[in-house]
Structure 1
Amino acid sequence: MVQAKARTYLNKMSYTIAVTGKGGVGKTTVTGLIINRLLANGRTPVLAVDADANSCLHSVLGVTVENSVGKIREEAREEASKGKVTGIAKQQMLEMKIAECLVEAKDFDLIAMGRPEGPGCYCYANNVLRDVIRKLSSSYPYVVIDNEAGLENLSRRIVQKVDLLVMVADPSKNGIETIRRLHKLAFEMKIDFKKLCIFINRTRDGKIPEEAKYLKNETEADFIIPLPDNKEIASFSEKGTSLFELSVENEVSKIVDEFVGQLDCIFGCAKSAKATALQEKMAAKLHI
């Protein structure tokens, strides 16, 4: 049995935010900023899931990861090959060990997917991780997932639902085209998401580039938000410094904070006049 950590948030509405985008566009940084601002706004506790084998979400969040689902998968495969565990015992052992992977921090926990370290299918570990996340999620109002460069993890149904799909791109023509492909892929894979937000990261002037202005109609995104290129964040990324050390006046952090502050309405609004009004309000505040 999976036992959730002793968190005060139990059996209430839980929202899942999944972040995706091609490598190198700042996907993990945006994930870290969303988590950072959720905590700052008192939307705690948060379950952070590092589902990108090449990610460094733990560094962005200022914690150390000693174990991962990938390592556990290898250990379980080894023990099973020796005939030490079978059937239900294997399932229970994996659930217990994956739950033990949780890195506990103030107001958030982190679980890392890691990478398989040997041959064989990763599907079984994915299935167990899905069950563990489902059972743990009742202890967290927000589950935030840093996905691989693409939609593979979501296509494997590691989470049953995605309340908010966040796509991150750089302002280049190729970056915008990647968003179009990801959006098309999401429908081809039948990924169930309720809301869509697109962050255009590292813009020169904090404005939506011309090429990206067509994305709202093409993707029916609820929000398209430009994030200006930021020297402080770039320096943090180079040094591996936690985003929790960002100055309170950081411009990008303020934009993400404004977005996070509107999540209740975002999740509650249908594509209606109210939702349009919220988009316009955000646009005015962000000078979009």
Structure 2
Amino acid sequence: MAAARTKEQEQPLLPIRSGSSKKGKKSTPPNDEPSAIDVITSLVVLVLVILGGVYFKRHCWKRIFGPFDPVEYTVAIAAVSGLDPGTDLHPRPATFLDPAFNLTLCVASPSTALRRECIKPGTIVEVSYLRSRVPLAAGTAPAFCVEVGEERVEGSVIVWGYGVRLPGFVLDSLAADMRRGTAEFGVKLTDPVPYCAAERTTPFRCHTGGSIRSSRYIRVLSCWAKIGGGPAPCSVSFETASFPVLRAGTGRDSSASLLPQPTL
């Protein structure tokens, strides 16, 4: 018995492993290579991003970040009546003219303009002779708006004058220019000044005491065109317009004293 116990004690203790291990079977490493679908999807997304960036740069960049291009205004004098040098422009002691002008107004907005542009209702159109700048005719322009990237031509804008009297030297100069076909006229479009009641204080600074007047900056388009000479470009400026303010309850007066009076 003692000898058997001695042999058992001399035998080494082997580790006990749970489960059975299968011989000849190795673990495969994970496959990190992208599939063909992943490659195609990535290429499509990349192409779309590039095309979107090019489109944004060409069509949206300037609209958001500028610089913005100005809107172009042109005026053409299609026809004139009442200024015939043979019948209307004779230097008589009392020569009164009744001229009428047929104008064509064009507003062209580039695709890089800041916003839509409008000719407001009640915009005043005034035509004067270049050499004297004496007003010959007046009227109102039709109201319309032009969206960014669009163009609109408004024909048959008629303005006229009644009983216009010119100094003798101006009449002679106008008659000579009309005979030669070189007469040039100034066309001026002035934005209307909004109605301002006496009790209002903003934004037109109306006053209730003393001389009731108000002032604000208004847009003025100035063009110089010849009869049948094609579209003439217009310059845009802003002038301070002083105008009388109507008291509440009196209504509007259409007399010339209530028209805007731009001051340089």
TM range (shorter): under 0.3
Instruction: Tell me which protein shows more helix as a share of its residues.
Output: 1
Instruction: Tell me which protein shows more strand as a share of its residues.
Output: 2
- Larger relative contact order, structure 1 or 2 (CA cutoff 8 Å, min sep 6): 1
TM-score, structure 2 normalization = 0.22
Larger radius of gyration: 2
